[in-house]
Amino acid sequence: MVDRIVRPDDNRPIAEVVLLKQFDRVLHYSVPESLLDRLEPGMRVLVPFRTGWRTGIVTRRLQQADVARVKPILELLDSTPTLDRPMMALARWLSDYYMTGWGVAMKAILPTGLEVNAGRHYRMTEAGRKAMSGSFRTGEVGRQFLAVLEKAPRGLRLEPLLERIKTTKPSRRGDHQRRSGPLSILVRKGWVEETMVLPRRRSSTVKEAPVSRSPRPPVSLKAISDPENMTASMPADLERAVHSGRFSAACLEGQPDRTRSTVTAVMMETLRRGRSVIILVPEIGRVSGWAGRLRARVGDGVGILHSGLSDRERRAEWEKARRGDVSIVVGTRLAVFAPVPNPGLIVVEDEQDTAYKQEEAPRYHARDVAVLRGTHDGALVLLTGASPSVETYANIQNGKYQSVHLADQQAGLPARPSVSIVNLADQPRGMFVSEELLAAVTARLEQKEPVVLFLNRRGFGTALYCRDCGVVVRCSRCHVATVYSKRSGRLSCPYCGMADYPPTTCSGCRGTHLEILGAGTERVEEFLKARFPSASILRLDRDTARPGDVSAAIERLNRSEVDLIIGTQLLLSGPPMTRSGLIGLLLADGALHLPDFRAGEHTFRLISRILNFSVGGEVILQTYHPTHESIAWAVTGDPKEFYEQELAQRKALGYPPFVRLAAVTVKALNESKAEAAAQRLVENLKRAVRSDDSRPGFQILGPVAAMRPRLRGKYRRQILIKAPDSRTLHEALASGLRALRSESGRSNVWFEVDVDPLRIE
């Protein structure tokens, strides 16, 4: 099948299509007569693109387009729009704000597996066989195509066919197109037949069913009207917000149990008013707990969405939400895109958690997307957490968000644990568990009380070091120190995952005095088992834990089936302790050494979460900076002082929330190429700013080598852009990138734009 080219004077309607890939342009295709009455914006279509077929989303229909020629849409994949207008608008905002392709934003919203991967299939025709048997004129590559296809009566798909074709010129960029050119000539001559091959449609298309927009959600009416489900009276402010049907955002402050019961009461009232609910949690482990509790209350009208589901399961859950078969969706950050009808409540549990920030394009923050959806849908957005982010605290102070303090109505609330600080500078060199902490662990184990130790470093040792010359063994692709695991006997890169057995000699001096530096959870576990051989000790980190292991381990600790747990911050994703005991943080100030303006906030939040994890008892913090404000204020339980001081520092230094921030990482296989591209981008940004004198407060920092200058085989340069407002930031950055992309010589250079970055690395 040869694509028919349609010219504008054919007067055939045109559809704008966005491909579900990293591609910035909106493409134009003609609408075949058979689709004129069926094609709508938001539907998936199959369209020709370059040498193959791609899945795209129709964004709108036009009568004419200012293009020289267009190709027709090949196939309509939906009977109803996959994305409705509100979700299309949300994808457009994601694309504009986070500076990524519209198709990438749509792909983030949609469940995986909705792309139909079609390919070209080629078979020799009877005319081609006659030409082969006689005298014919074609080039060397064309002769090879005919010879290969003559031996394949059923034909071949494009990629396997091209692999069998040899060229006399060396392989280079664009070789694929050069070889397929002679094949197109054979198709035009009629010697080769070209057809489109589609995969099996059952596993890649959306299950078609009427999309419900009924105001009554599919939950048990008896359940949501049952007085037993009114677990807490709502504060008056929240009751007014639910009844108003207008957007508002509120931050709940109170004990976790009280906060959860209030959220449940607000949710029940939202359901009674015929609206849907989305609940976001930072970790997959919390989804099942929420879903189980809600199903026990309201029946089966509860869906789940998270990355731990298979592609088929995610599509099924997403489709149930789209059809209105569920009125509540619980999930991780991707659940913020759940296509539930008429959302009236969006809950973001532990809104300060960095897991809500997507690390790949589009680099969205689920909390901010939740606020945007609430604005558009007239929904109430509830933010919960033991210690709000600095940005959320600032929004409370300036009146954008409400602060709702939940009075503790329960008797016998757990006492705040006693906290002591150990200065690691006073300890012997290399000691990772102080004598003070060891004595406390011994006492608690003798009294049969639970012990939990935190160390946010997995593995046995953090580096392999040569005592003769000081060289540290590094990953050849990422140039970062490799982590040693005694269990596997290998050194592994924490970023690309490359693993190898440790060398026996130093690569620098050929010496043999290699030593393991630092301590991870595996080394601490070995030390504790040797020190307390009769104790039942568990280790929980990403090397050992499977889904559900964290909650199960803490439940075992609460039941006295386990004496001691050593783990990373992963432990905080589980339920809190219910028995008074000992918690030790082996290195409280690990984040303080990072070149990140949020380092103090990360430290304050980690200590605050650990204090909330404990039920009374004792907490011991080991640190090299016992007097640091972030540690001191977390220990004294005075968050207001921390937030006020942190905001004052950020204002003085020009950091969010007082400025808008974006980080651009320039990557290349060649170091000089990365540096040159970064320098050109800075020059373009400066030109964009100079062209508009109304942009005071605009600042460019860099380019500099990134904190990890080489990662996964690519050299990295980083640029930080500060602007007084979002519009200035986006306009300048878009102008600078557009100018750079139009320049020649940009092959093998990549740009990553992170708007509102949480980590600068």
Least confident of 145-149, 205-209, 566-570, 667-671: 205-209
CA–CA separation, 246 and 343 (whole Å) = 11
Please check the confidence at residue 59 and state whether its pLDDT lies above 90: yes
52-62 and 44-49 beta bridge pairing:
antiparallel
**pTM confidence score:** 0.84
pLDDT for the residue numbered 692: 56
Q: Are 522 and 485 in contact (CB under 8 A)?
A: yes
**pLDDT confidence of residue 92:** 95
Work out the burial of residue 580: count CB atoms within 10 Å of its CB; fewer than 13 is exposed, 13-18 middle, 19 or more buried.
middle
Q: Check whether 171 has a pLDDT greater than 50.
A: no
State the average pLDDT over residues 124-140.
79
The token pair that represents 302 in the structure block:
């509860």
What is the band of 479 on the pLDDT scale with cuts at 50, 70, 90? confident
- pLDDT attached to residue 411: 47
Q: What is the dihedral of CA 451, 454, 455, 456, to 10 degrees?
A: 150
> Which H or E element spans position 155?
none
Closest CA to 189 of 132, 118, 119, 120: 132
Residues 6+ apart with CB under 8 A from 84: 42, 211, 339
H/E stretch holding 146 reads helix 140-150
**For position 169, what pLDDT does the model report?**
45
Give the model's confidence band at 168: pLDDT under 50 very low, under 70 low, under 90 confident, else very high.
very low
For residue 124, what are the β-bridge partners? 192
Percent share of the chain, pLDDT over 90: 43
pLDDT tens profile 689-748: 775 555 677 899 989 998 888 888 899 999 999 999 999 999 999 988 888 777 655 678
Q: Is the dihedral of CA 537, 541, 543, 544 positive or negative?
A: positive
Over residues 96-115, mean pLDDT:
92
Out of 15-29, 95-109, 232-246, 546-560, the most confident range is: 95-109
Mean pLDDT of 318-344: 95
In this predicted structure, which of 137-146, 379-388, 518-527, 670-679 has the lowest mean pLDDT? 137-146
User: 281 burial class (0-12, 13-18, 19+ CB within 10 angstroms)?
Assistant: buried
Element (H, E) at 696: none
Q: Which two tokens stand for residue 719?
A: 């640029």
Q: How high is the pLDDT of residue 480?
A: 82
Instruction: Assign 53 a pLDDT band (cuts: 50, 70, 90).
Output: confident
Closest CA relative to residue 10, chosen from 41, 34, 31, 35: 31
Average pLDDT over residues 657-676: 93
DSSP string over 321-388: HHHTS-SEEEESGGGGG---SSEEEEEETTTT-GGGB-SSSS--BHHHHHHHHHHHHT-EEEE--SS-
pLDDT score for 173: 39
**Whether the Cβ atoms of residue 102 and residue 95 lie closer than 8 Å to each other:** yes
pLDDT, residue 694, reads: 53
pLDDT bin (cut points 50, 70, 90) of residue 155 is confident
The helix/strand/coil state of 69 is coil
Most confident among 84-93, 228-237, 454-463, 465-474 (mean pLDDT): 84-93
pLDDT at 65: 62
pLDDT number for residue 546: 77
Q: Return the closest-CA partner of residue 351 out of 361, 329, 336, 338.
A: 336
Please choose, from the candidates 233, 286, 229, 227, the residue with its C-alpha nearest in 3D space to the C-alpha of residue 262: 233
